[in-house]
Structures are given as C-alpha cells and as structure tokens.
Amino acid sequence: METRVANLDGRTIVETAIQDFKTALRGPLLRPGTPEYEDARRIWNANIEKHPALIAKCTGIADIVHAVNFARDNDLLVSIKGGGHSIPGLGLCDGGLTIDLSNLKGVRVDPTGKTARAGTGVTWGEYDHETQFYGLASTGGEISTTGISGLTLGGGNGWLNGMFGTSCDNLIGADVVTADGTFHSVNQDQEEDLFWGLRGGGGNFGVVSSLKYKIHPVGKVLGGFVGWHLHMTKEVMEFLEGFVQDLPDEVGKIGVEVIASREGVPMVIIRPGYFGPIDEGQKLLAPIQKLGQPRYDNLRPMSYEALQSSRDPYWPWGRHNYFKSGFVKALTDDVIETFVAHTRNVPSQHSQIAVEYYHGAYSRVKPDETAYPHRLTGWNLAIGGSWLDASESEKNISWVRAFWDDIEPFTSGGVYVNFMSAGEDDRVKVAYGRNYDRLVSVKNRYDPTNLFKVNENIKPSDSPKK
C-alpha cells in the first residue's frame, strides 16, 4: 500500500497518475518506506526534518521536464535538490515532489577554450577534481561536499573571490527547465534576463540541469591557518582590520574565526588563501605569523584541491545547525566587543563564528550586473551554531539569536541569500537588495504562478495565495 500523495489543496492524487509519472521517468521515483528514499531524503543539516511524498531522481532533461509538468499539472508543492547543503534545508519539501538532481554528475572541461560545463548534481569537490586535472579552477565554495548549483545560483563566494569574483561571475551559461516545462539554454546573449536572474536569484526561475563556467589557471596556493588562545580575539581582529587595507587580489579571501574547539581548546584563527607566487605570499602573510605567540601555525603551500577540502572536517553532514549572518563594513570597536563577548560562552564545541573579507574582483562587479547584489568591499559575518543532539537545539539556537540581536545594529543590513536560516522571510528582500524589482519581473515572466516557491522566495506580482 503506497502512502497518499496530496496536492496543495489537500486533494489526493490518483495512484494511476503517479504510476504513469513513474513510467515516464528514466530515473527512479522514490516513496517513503524504502532505504533509497531515506538516503535521498538525507541533507546536510540534521536540524531540518522534511518528508516529501515523492522524490524523482532525475537522470537528465527529459526526466526534469516530466517532473516539472507533473508537479504543475497536479498542483504539488515542489522543491529542487542539488547538493543538499542548504542551511534551511530548501532542497526538500514536506509532502509534494522533490526534484533530486544528484545523479547529474557529468563535468566536461574544455582546457583550450577555458570553460567547463557541469551537471547540477556535482559537488565542488567533484568539480575541482576535474578542472584541477588541467590546472584550472572557477570560484567555488570552501566545503567540498556543497553542491555547485545551489551555491552558484545564490551568488557563490569562495577563496578565489579576490582574483575572479563570485561563482556567478564565472557562470557563462545555464540549461534550465522553467515552470511551463520548456527547456532554455541561456547565456549573456540568449534570454539575457533569465541568465541575469540565475546569477544570484537562486532556484526561483526553474530547474537548472547544467552550468557552464569560465575556468582559470590555478596552481599551488598558500593556505592553512594561524591560531591563538581565545583571549587574543580582540587583538587579532584589530590587527586584521588594518592588514586588509590595500590587500592584493592574490589574497583571494581572508577571515578571522573562532573555532569553539580544536583538540579540546577553543581558538581564534586567521585563515588566508593566497594565489600568487608562493615566496611573495609567504612574505606578505608573515606579519600574521608574528602576531603575539600563535599556538598553532600550519600556513603552507598546498594544492587548490587540498585548500578546497581543508574545512570539510569542521562542517560534516548530519549535525544540527543554525546560522545567522550579515555583512559588516568594518571591524569597528562595537563589532569586535560584541564578537568577543559572545564567543567567550559558545554552548557547543562544534560551533564556528567567522568574519570573511571580500574584495578585489568581487567588488569590481557592479551591484546590478548580476542578480547577486552585494559588492562592497568588506566583511561577511556568519554565526554558525552546530551541535550533535536535538535535545541541545533550544540552547544553541538561543545563543545564536542572542549574539545576532546584539551585533545586528552594527551590520549593514544586507545578507547573503545562501547563509540564511529557516524563518527569515522578513530578510528575503534585503538579501536580493536593489535587484529585487528586476527579479520580480523575471519571476513574472518565467514562473508567474510561483511553482518554485521552496527557496528564498521572490513572489511574482500576482502570486496566488497558496
């Protein structure tokens, strides 16, 4: 006996329609009660529990078109799952249909033309592995298990921000199935509006099946971190605010972070990524190593792939997580004092609180050039609460919120759409910033009934109530 599938009005979808849909697919259609379903339902954040009625594991564009048509014709809630790394678990929905793209694993690198096209089930670790085979890379997220698709469609910040801008700045084409079930291959010259919207507007406009990126030569890099006892936090932050003035693009990104426990000891760390000649980088970064008496220093030359996976152990799948985030213009006394006060009493040793500096090529793109609007040189703060057991959720979420309440007055008001948690609907407009109105007009054109609403949602002007 299969479980009931209901549409947004609670009306049951007849079993024969579901069986016809299943037959039309090349990939499996999963339903509750099987290990395959439970595996497909697994996402990075264990704090989010959702149970789709159906999960379509698509094998290509034909499956995606069938899934979109089935969801639309039957008025189902629909979610799109790329890498499953979204903090609020937006890859899944409760009831309805999840369009799971994790089987779309192809990466084709053109080393001569310096482009790469990848399926939207690819993770950054997989993408980097293929492009680095040719000594090439595009800006990508710094956890290798994150999906390329959710990250790029929301903007995408990474170690290469300073050199090559965001992931969406590196995007030169996308294949997408829109709400009416039609296929579009878009780029700067074809359906420019839709292409613009995909570079920061998230999953609002359709199901993206592949992404085409520019790729750049990237060889050995300088990475790792220098760490101090927690009582050095103020001094380390003050130092870094001075250090980042006149930073060359080759320091692709640099951040200060409190890691609640490293081998049992909380630390404040500075972690840079340097992409120029190694000896020049060592000279440039030496003042960091000379600050106070570091307890830990593993700054060293490494491969780009090693840098791109070096943070993985800190953010494994399956823990409970809750984030608050926002942009900060400068590490002022107010910001530093608040940061220091709240990082003294982190309730979980798995939590991490970071401020990362974005500059260089990132800031040379105009705010309306892509849908991703945040282009000021400055800091991105992420208060990352992370804990092991659901019984500790209340304590940890309260700590993140209290920290945020105190520091919010010193932030610029903007937030990166991919660093939002569940329940932040009131911040969605701010996340899209000055580009919101144009995004609404793209939404009106490509998804006027808001079929794709399980995301940081851009509501069409005449959005139906459901």
Beta bridge partners of residue 352, listed in sequence order: 259, 384
Measured from the CB atom, the residue of 115 and 146 that comes closer to ligand FAD is 146
Measured from the CB atom, the residue of 156 and 294 that comes closer to ligand FAD is 156
Provide, rounded to whole angstroms, the least separation between the CB of residue 104 and ligand FAD: 8
Measured from the CB atom, the residue of 86 and 343 that comes closer to ligand FAD is 86
Angle at 35 between CA 46 and CA 456, to 5 degrees: 40
3-state secondary structure of 122: coil
Strands lying side by side in the sheet with 207-214: 107-110, 115-119, 207-214, 171-177, 183-186
Distance CA 342, CA 404 (A): 9
Max alpha carbon distance in the chain (Å)?
Answer: 70
Measured from the CB atom, the residue of 30 and 143 that comes closer to ligand FAD is 143
Residue 387 carries which side chain, given as an amino acid letter? W
- Residue 114, Cβ density class (10 Å: 0-12 exposed, 13-18 middle, ≥19 buried): middle
Beta bridge partners of residue 265, listed in sequence order: 262
Cβ atoms of 365 and 267 closer than 8 Å: no
For residue 6, what is the DSSP state?
Answer: B
Provide, rounded to whole angstroms, the least separation between the CB of residue 283 and ligand FAD: 27
Provide, rounded to whole angstroms, the least separation between the CB of residue 176 and ligand FAD: 7
Which of 109, 203, 139 lies closest to 418, judged by CA?
A: 203
For residue 330, what is the DSSP state?
Answer: S
Which of 286, 256, 269, 278 lies closest to 226, judged by CA?
A: 269
Cβ atoms of 200 and 155 closer than 8 Å: yes
Residue with tokens 């940081």, as numbered in its chain: 456
Provide, rounded to whole angstroms, the least separation between the CB of residue 219 and ligand FAD: 21
Distance CA 371, CA 197 (A): 5
Provide, rounded to whole angstroms, the least separation between the CB of residue 149 and ligand FAD: 3
Measured from the CB atom, the residue of 310 and 418 that comes closer to ligand FAD is 418
Measured from the CB atom, the residue of 47 and 338 that comes closer to ligand FAD is 47
Measured from the CB atom, the residue of 232 and 396 that comes closer to ligand FAD is 396
| Other C-beta atoms lying within 10 Å of the C-beta of residue 138 | 31
Provide, rounded to whole angstroms, the least separation between the CB of residue 318 and ligand FAD: 12
> Where does this chain bind ligand FAD (CB under 6 A)?
44, 79-87, 90-91, 101, 120, 141-143, 146-147, 149-151, 153-154, 156-158, 202-203, 207-208, 315, 418, 454-455
Measured from the CB atom, the residue of 153 and 218 that comes closer to ligand FAD is 153
Provide, rounded to whole angstroms, the least separation between the CB of residue 150 and ligand FAD: 2
Distance CA 144, CA 159 (A): 12
Provide, rounded to whole angstroms, the least separation between the CB of residue 112 and ligand FAD: 27
Measured from the CB atom, the residue of 198 and 232 that comes closer to ligand FAD is 198
Angle at 431 between CA 247 and CA 195, to 5 degrees: 85
Provide, rounded to whole angstroms, the least separation between the CB of residue 444 and ligand FAD: 18
Measured from the CB atom, the residue of 239 and 435 that comes closer to ligand FAD is 435
Distance CA 454, CA 460 (A): 14
Distance CA 351, CA 242 (A): 26
Residue 34 carries which side chain, given as an amino acid letter? T
Provide, rounded to whole angstroms, the least separation between the CB of residue 285 and ligand FAD: 20
